[in-house]
Structures are given as structure tokens and as C-alpha cells.
Amino acid sequence: MNIDYQSCITEIYNETRSLIGQGKVANYIPALAEVNPECYGIAIATLTGEIYKIGNADIEFSIQSISKVFLFARVFKVLGDELWTRVDREPSGSAFNSLVQLESENGIPRNPFINAGALVATDCLLSFCKNPIEDILYFARNLADNQKIHYDSRIVNSERATGFRNAALVNFMKSFGNIHNDIDSILDAYFHQCGIMMNCVDLAKSFLFLVNGGINSFNDEQILTRSQTKRANALMQTCGFYDESGEFAFCVGLPGKSGVGGGIVAIIPGLLAICVWAPELNSHGNSLVGMRALELFTTKTGISIF
């Protein structure tokens, strides 16, 4: 299929700019509240090495929960199916920071992409990694083939200053025996992950290993097995957008992951990864413009996994 991706994303960009102003930036994290709400970028990275971009695709932003994919891949690579004794694989149907289900489900988070699940995965990382903060940053840099990717200390400190619900989640799971390491160390590593700064091009490139059967195309490292990659993509499809995952599957039809920094990354296995960044969020905490842009992308190209 011969598709002019540059023309496609240019058309989408121009059609969706009018939606800016209809959402709200994540103001419950002070450092995110300062982001320019009019920023908007789109980037595509193909498995054959092409990059297509438009708008603010080169401006770095806080990737927030998109980092959960890196964390999950890092832990799944080491633990394999042992991970599923600590975290489930079901959509939550609840907000990303909800405590509700943990009470009835004995401290086992529904999936790795809600906050509770990522905190358990961070706990797992601490159990086999001496320097988890450095480890995840190194992992992201290698996936994106960019050694300049870094943490923003302002974002990290802002997360730490307002992270009461995350502290409640990890303490609650500790009471069920599903947290094994020091709580402050887990939270510190988790807050750092949220503060990773990347741009649309970086993020699209960093998801290419999930496009490529688990292989990092920049250095040929096998990050995940083909079977594990299928599982990771399935989880992104069903759980990557919190309580709006069903809507994203219905409208867009691609595995993906969002973050409250306004970024969304989605993949077409065997072909490409696409990242959209527009900081204004809808009521579910997903980029309002990004959701519409990706819906238009699969509609205009005729490509989805369905």
C-alpha cells in the first residue's frame, strides 16, 4: 500500500487544529499546568527508517504514563509470566488512579497501565535492578536511539509534591503483601518515570520495537520475544487509555498508550508507530486533539488492526 504519510498528517493537522481550546491541561500537577495548551505535533516513524512530522513534533514534553510501556517491557523481559502473579491483564473501567478495585481484588491491580499496576511493576524492577531510575532512562534512550533523553527535575518534584494518591495506592497494596520493597524508593522511581522528557519523534521511534516483533531496529537487540510483544500490544489495545480504552479501540483500532502530558503513541505492527502530542485533555485524561487525530489517521489511510 502506497500512502503519502506526510500529506496525510498535514491534512489531519490542519483539520484538527480547530479543536484546540476544547480540552484542559492537567492542572492537578503544577508543572504540567504551565504547558502551552496550543502546542500540537504529530510524528510517524516507519520500520524502514522514514520519519514524517508536522507542527511541534520536535518539542519535548513530559511523557507521563506512556513510560508505563517502557517499564512493563523492562519487567516483562526479566520476569516473563511470573509478572501475572502480581498484576492482572484486564481493563479497569475506572480512572487511572482509582483505589476502588484494589479492595475487592486483594491488592492485585487490574493491569500494568493503570497507576497501581505501574507501581507494582516498579516494585518488581527494584527487586532485580540496583539503579532503577538510571535503568529506565537508559532503556528509553536505547529504544529511541537518542542519548539526550532526560528527566525533568521540575516535573519529578511536582509529581512528588502532589503524589498523595499514588502513595495511598502503594501503601494499600503493601497491606495485601503485593509490595516488597521500600515504599519511598518505589515512589521516587515511579515519579522519575513520569518525568521523562521526549518529543513526538523520540516516542514514535521508541515504540518501533513493538512494531518489529520485539526487536530494537536501531541495534537489533531482542527486547521482547515475538509472543511477549503480542501480549504487550494486546494490553495496549485493551488497557492503554484507562476508562476510555474501549472508545479508542472503537474509533481508532490500534494498540496505543496515552499520558496526561498530552501524548499518545499508537502502532501498526509490521509498519509504523505514530505519536501525537496536544496537551489539552478530555474528561478521561487523554489528549482531546490526539484522539481525534488518530481516528482520522486510520480512517484516511484505511489501516487498522481490524
- Count the helix, strand and coil residues of the chain and give each as a percent rounded to the nearest 5: 50, 10, 35
Residue 1: per-residue pLDDT: 66
pLDDT of 32-88, one tens digit each? 999 999 999 999 999 999 999 999 999 999 999 999 999 999 999 999 999 999 999
C-alpha distance from residue 33 to each of 18, 23, 200, 239 (Å): 21, 13, 20, 26
C-alpha distance from residue 149 to each of 144, 201, 263, 271 (Å): 9, 12, 16, 24
pLDDT of 135-173, one tens digit each? 999 999 999 999 999 999 999 999 999 999 999 999 999
Q: Which three cell numbers stand for residue 219?
A: 541495534
pLDDT of 202-256, one tens digit each? 999 999 999 999 999 999 999 999 999 999 999 999 999 988 999 999 999 999 9
C-alpha distance from residue 245 to each of 53, 70, 86, 280, 285 (Å): 26, 19, 22, 18, 11
The residues, any chain, with a CB within 8 Å of residue 204's CB and separated by 6 or more, are: 43, 44, 45, 51, 265, 272, 273, 274, 275
- All structural domains of the chain, each given as residue ranges with its CATH number in brackets, are 5-301 (3.40.710.10)
Give just the sign of the alpha carbon dihedral 158, 109, 112, 53.
Answer: negative
Q: How confident is the model at residue 93 (pLDDT cuts 50, 70, 90)?
A: confident
139 touches 85 (CB < 8 A): no
C-alpha distance from residue 192 to each of 14, 204, 230, 279, 292 (Å): 34, 21, 27, 20, 29
Reply yes or no on whether the pLDDT at 304 is more than 90. no
Express as a percent the part of the chain with pLDDT over 90.
Answer: 92
Reply yes or no on whether the pLDDT at 301 is more than 80. yes
- Closest Cα partner for 195 from 34, 28, 29? 29
